[in-house]
Amino acid sequence: MPDSRPGSVPDVPSLFTPVALIAVMITVGSWGLAFPAIRVALDGMAPLPLASARFALAALVAIGWLAIRRPPLPSRADLLRFAVCGGLGIALYNILLNSGQQTVAAGAASFIANVAPVITVILAVLFLKERFRALAWAGMALSMTGVGVIATGQPGGLRFGSGAMLVLGAAFTTASYFVLQRPLVRRHGALNASAITLLFGALWLLPWLPDGVAQAMTAERRVQAALLFLALLPAAIGYGAWAIVLGHFGAARAANFLYLVPVVASLAAVPLVGEVPGWTTLLGGGLALAGVAMVNRRP
């Protein structure tokens, strides 16, 4: 997900407009549905080929956007940063998330992945020397407690190599991406920066594309449908919609809408993959989101 770190973009005191409302609905709906869609796609594809095929398709949309917009070529330093962002925020994130969701339920994975803003605060303190209130630190502790509660209901718990640990690792890669991509968005614009990052992510995943194409061609129709959905909506269109939400509300206010993503994921997982969230997911998810809310709270 693009930058939702508290303080990364000043708040914009705007009310809902039709465009903003549609953008919020697309972002929350597509990103929430992505978690059960990944579970469906994993029934016929391996984690790495799935990620490669998904973003190869999404890259076609990004290429079309860049061909129409024709933005200036980034500097060498920015191209290197784009490559790192694509490697972390697209390639490694999806490798870890797909691998983790082989054993972690869709709803549980969405709650764990949604603590990325909390991890971003930790990285900002360590590497950007930023300071945060005591309430933010309490929120971080509460979120991590929630992740631990969720993990107790998943195979392997939070042991190294377990599915829950892989999804938590995906949240760390997203948080790193949040920190790295901030200057790129300022210099190149949110939509252009997202498109270029997506292209680099697809390039990092290119070695697994032949397997991804072969597995997609022989997969069941529902697996193919899930792959197309993941490529077009959460990856290509969802990132663009999120950029509109960021521009309209600012990062701090926009982050509040992301609290709905795990709710959508948990509800959609019931009819799509037959996963009913257990009490550990609901309790831990509530703690995790409460912690994120505390971190994002403004004085």
The pLDDT value recorded for residue 131 is 67
Q: Is there a contact between 31 and 239 (Cβ–Cβ < 8 Å)?
A: no
Please name which of 250, 262, 259 lies closest in space to residue 290, comparing C-alpha atoms. 259
Rounded mean pLDDT, 125-152: 74
Is residue 7, in this structure, part of any structural domain at all? no
Is residue 192, in this structure, part of any structural domain at all? yes
Is residue 3, in this structure, part of any structural domain at all? no
pTM given for the model: 0.82
The model's pLDDT over 22-77, given as tens digits with 9 standing for 90+, comes to 988 998 899 989 999 999 999 999 999 999 999 999 999 999 999 999 999 999 99
Rank 136-140, 268-272, 285-289 by mean pLDDT and report only the highest: 268-272
pLDDT > 70 in the chain, percent: 83
Report the number of distinct structural domains present in the chain: 1
Whole-angstrom distance, CA of residue 37 vs CA of residue 46: 14
Is residue 217, in this structure, part of any structural domain at all? yes
The model's pLDDT over 1-16, given as tens digits with 9 standing for 90+, comes to 444 444 344 444 456 6
Is residue 243, in this structure, part of any structural domain at all? yes
By mean pLDDT, which of 97-101, 125-129, 191-195, 279-283 is the weakest?
Answer: 125-129
Is residue 157, in this structure, part of any structural domain at all? yes
| pLDDT beyond 50 at 130 | yes
Is residue 178, in this structure, part of any structural domain at all? yes
3-state secondary structure 263-286: HHHHHHHHHHHCCCCCHHHHHHHH
Rounded mean pLDDT, 197-206: 95
| Number of neighbouring beta carbons within 10 Å of residue 97 | 26
The residue segments making up the domain with residue 221 are: 18-296
Is residue 13, in this structure, part of any structural domain at all? no
